[in-house]
């Protein structure tokens, strides 16, 4: 076991189970080091995951000594390259973390989230990795798991303009129940279109209590073969009405003569729009949590999925149509891996 892994495993154990014999001011100091609320230089490249180490034989003196040693070591090991700029260090050939949604791919030598006084990605168990429906200008990488008996999420939002791509913002859960979002606005990093970003990034919340860190990272977004293009060469359903707000018109009954989503199947809507050469994409939506009606997932489809129509809208900027379809009976389904370009898409 290397020193970095030992340090992180021990810090995680001490934060969760630090014995009461440790003086209060040392316990607070340790928590600040782990949470990133003390001196920013206190962050040192951590190790991988908790190894389940047993420290039952440590005496109170030894525990205090370890705490002091960690504080000293941490303050002398700040890593370069954080804050959104590439670092000199190349990512490891065998990274500790690999998350690939089929659209965005991220590897890292070390990753951590501090939220609600605890450190996450220490022992995350099963992580669900996916990306929302994106295109040439918007992509996401979305991670969800449970740790410390809490719901945790790490969402990365990307944008591109034809020359560059960048990480627009990062969101995590706050480690509380019920959970709320912590947002870290950007842009946080940039790279030329078609090229990966390598290096590291670290951000701390305004109150200094929470944050995230990705180290030894290789991040790939908007890669060839993984970037979806919207349909082209088709007619708008309504006259485009460009606006800065990117408005939409809900396809309620009577909005468009002859098109009534409440009385039609997905196949019938597809045929009606095809006769008029109207651009349409589909979202297959389903619940992923029986206890939370708001928790679900939307798959991107180029062809009409089977099910019942739940609504639709017209993008006022170009007149294109999006139709939502849900499985009959609204069952709870497991989220499944998504094809890079969407279901039924070439």
Confidence of residue 168 (pLDDT cuts 50, 70, 90): very high
Show the tokens assigned to 256. Answer: 């468009």
Alpha-carbon span 41 to 223, nearest angstrom: 35
- If one counts every other C-beta atom within 10 angstroms of the C-beta of residue 229, the result is 9
Show the tokens assigned to 39. Answer: 């001196």
pLDDT, residue 165, reads 97
pLDDT tens, residue by residue, 108-151: 999 999 999 999 999 888 898 888 878 889 999 999 999 999 99
Q: What predicted TM-score, i.e. pTM, was given to this entire model?
A: 0.60
- pLDDT tops 70 at residue 181: yes
pLDDT tens, residue by residue, 305-338: 999 999 999 988 778 899 999 999 989 998 887 7
Alpha-carbon span 157 to 177, nearest angstrom: 24
Alpha-carbon span 322 to 314, nearest angstrom: 6
Q: Which one is predicted more confidently, 303 or 290?
A: 303
- pLDDT tops 50 at residue 58: no
Phi and psi (nearest 5°) for 113? Answer: -125, 135
Q: CA 51, 336, 182, 91 torsion: positive or negative?
A: positive
- Residue 231 Cα to chain centre, angstroms: 26
24-35 and 60-75 helices, crossing angle to 10°: 40
Confidence of residue 246 (pLDDT cuts 50, 70, 90): low
Quickly name the fold that domain 97-220 has: Porin (2.40.160)
pLDDT tens, residue by residue, 193-241: 999 999 999 999 998 999 999 999 999 999 988 888 777 778 888 877 7
Domain with CATH 2.40.160.110 in the chain: 97-220
pLDDT tens, residue by residue, 83-112: 334 444 567 788 999 999 888 999 999 999
Alpha-carbon span 186 to 10, nearest angstrom: 32
pLDDT, residue 324, reads 95
Q: In a 3-state reduction of DSSP, which class is residue 204?
A: strand
> Can you tell me the mean pLDDT for 248-274?
91
């Amino acid at each position: 076991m290397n020193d970095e892994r030992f340090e992180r495993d021990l810090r995680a154990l001490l934060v969760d189970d630090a014995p009461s014999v440790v003086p209060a001011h040392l316990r607070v100091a340790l928590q600040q080091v782990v949470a990133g609320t003390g001196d920013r230089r206190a962050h040192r490249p951590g190790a991988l995951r908790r190894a389940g180490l047993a420290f039952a034989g440590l005496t109170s003196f030894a525990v205090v000594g370890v705490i002091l040693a960690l504080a000293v070591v941490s303050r002398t090991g700040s890593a370069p390259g954080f804050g959104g700029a590439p670092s000199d260090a190349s990512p490891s050939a065998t990274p500790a973390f690999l998350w690939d949604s089929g659209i965005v791919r991220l590897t890292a030598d070390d990753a951590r989230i501090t939220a609600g006084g605890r450190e996450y990605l220490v022992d995350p168990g099963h992580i669900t990795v996916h990306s929302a429906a994106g295109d040439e200008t918007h992509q996401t990488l979305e991670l969800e798991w449970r740790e410390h008996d809490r719901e945790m999420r790490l969402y990365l939002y990307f944008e591109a303009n034809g020359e560059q791509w960048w990480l627009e913002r990062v969101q995590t859960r706050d480690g509380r129940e019920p959970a709320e979002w912590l947002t870290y606005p950007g842009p946080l990093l940039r790279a030329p279109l078609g090229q990966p970003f390598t290096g590291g990034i670290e951000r701390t919340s305004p109150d200094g209590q929470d944050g995230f860190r990705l180290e030894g990272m290789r991040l790939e977004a908007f890669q060839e073969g993984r970037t979806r293009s919207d349909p082209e060469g088709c007619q708008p359903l309504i006259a485009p009405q460009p606006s800065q707000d990117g408005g939409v018109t809900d396809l309620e009954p009577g909005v468009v003569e002859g098109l009534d989503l409440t009385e039609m199947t997905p196949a019938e809507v597809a045929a009606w729009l095809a006769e008029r050469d109207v651009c349409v994409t589909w979202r297959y939506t389903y619940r992923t949590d029986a206890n939370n009606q708001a928790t679900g997932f939307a798959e991107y489809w180029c062809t009409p999925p089977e099910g019942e129509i739940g609504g639709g809208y017209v993008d006022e900027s170009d007149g294109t149509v999006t139709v939502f379809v849900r499985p009959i009976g609204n069952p709870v389904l497991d989220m499944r891996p998504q094809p890079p370009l969407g279901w039924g898409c070439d």
